[in-house]
Amino acid sequence: MRFLVEEKEARYLLVVKANQPELHRRLRSLPRKDVTARRYDREAGHGRRETRVTRALTVTDLGLDFPHAVQAARIPALPHRPPDRHRQPPDRLRDH
């Protein structure tokens, strides 16, 4: 990364998942109350609606201990399933 950031002056985006436990833990412990930017996007497709909430936090002075990191962003997808219009409620009091 040093080559990309210092010599090529490039920006990069690093996706961190739970399979990187230490970095994942450090990112989850950041002070979310200090979020510097928020964005809400809603999309619909394939029979469902989805809301993405992007939260960005400047991390340069938070002791993240990750070289060249400037911001951390969290982008969870929150699915919203519409009710199934073809499904009938169970008929509990059916007479035979």
At 23 the pLDDT is 86
At 28 the pLDDT is 87
SS3 64: coil
pLDDT tens-digit series, residues 7-32:
888 877 888 888 989 988 888 888 88
Structure tokens at 53: 């909430």
At 27 the pLDDT is 86
Question: pTM for this structure?
Answer: 0.59
At 16 the pLDDT is 86
User: By the 8 A CB rule, do 90 and 66 touch?
Assistant: no
User: By the 8 A CB rule, do 30 and 62 touch?
Assistant: yes
